[in-house]
Amino acid sequence: MNEKIIEQTANYVRNELGEDATGHDWYHVDRVRRTALHICNLEQAGDPFIIEMAALLHDIPDEKLNESAEAGRNKLNLFFQSIALPEDVQNDIVQIIESISYKGGAKSELTTIEAEIVQDADRLDAIGAIGIARTFAYGGKKGQPIYDPSINVREEMSLEEYRKGKSTSIHHFYEKLLKLKDLLNTETAKAMAEKRHRMMEYFLEQFYLEWDGQDR
């Protein structure tokens, strides 16, 4: 039964996000799913079915990818109506999805190990080589410049400022990505993050050398 629901869910998400060009495409979702299950296995913690379902559906209601937060919630609810999933399981999945987003750095209280694992997997996909690629895909789609040294890095932000304030793709590293290593929950994810974090630091160092014409 669970395998059939997973298959239905994967097909649904693939159809919904398959053409996305912001870095929130099917391949992102599938990486988060596989990373979450990997963490679950190594940590020997959490319900694999809940983790896999939440990982698969975590971007479906995202307000960045919908007309509004309400439209995103309605989309997720409509999908749940199409599959045979107990209400308590649906509630567990929704609770995870609603609690794991970064939202400008506002810290949500995670109440389950499943939420911690899915959040870790999603955040790992935001850093490292893949994270660098996704940052510029998203920035380009939003019409943000690659870099503008006259813009200041934003330290404290409301959700509205985080979503719509003036920034650049390079600034995003300082406003979010370089902070993620220290915000992970599980030991497995923390270990995985080290190399990815160093990759971003090296990238930025090289970027500034080239920006200033000093890379010879």
Taking only the tens place, the pLDDT of each residue in 175-196 is 999 999 999 999 999 999 999 9
What are the C-alpha distances in Å from 91 to residues 28, 53, 77, 97? 24, 12, 11, 10
Q: How confident is the model at residue 160 (pLDDT cuts 50, 70, 90)?
A: low
The verdict on residue 148 lying in a domain is: yes
pLDDT, residue 56, reads 97
What are the C-alpha distances in Å from 190 to residues 25, 71, 117? 24, 34, 11
pLDDT, residue 125, reads 97
pLDDT, residue 164, reads 64
The verdict on residue 118 lying in a domain is: yes
Cβ atoms of 168 and 144 within 8 Å: the answer is: yes
Instruction: Share the mean pLDDT of the chain.
Output: 90
The verdict on residue 216 lying in a domain is: no
The verdict on residue 153 lying in a domain is: yes
Structural domain including 105 reads 2-211
| Total tally of structural domains belonging to the chain | 1
- Give me the torsion for CA of 195, 197, 200, 202, rounded to 10°: -60
- Find the range with the poorest average confidence among 33-37, 82-86, 91-95, 181-185: 82-86
The verdict on residue 62 lying in a domain is: yes
CA distance 73 to 59: 11
CA distance 133 to 23: 8
Cβ atoms of 204 and 135 within 8 Å: the answer is: no
In eight-state DSSP terms, residue 153 is: P
pLDDT in tens, 9-60: 999 999 999 888 888 999 999 999 999 999 999 999 999 999 999 999 999 9
The verdict on residue 56 lying in a domain is: yes
CA distance 127 to 77: 30
CA distance 148 to 155: 17
pTM score, whole prediction = 0.90
The verdict on residue 38 lying in a domain is: yes
The verdict on residue 177 lying in a domain is: yes
CATH at 127 = 1.10.3210.50
pLDDT in tens, 55-69: 999 999 887 877 777
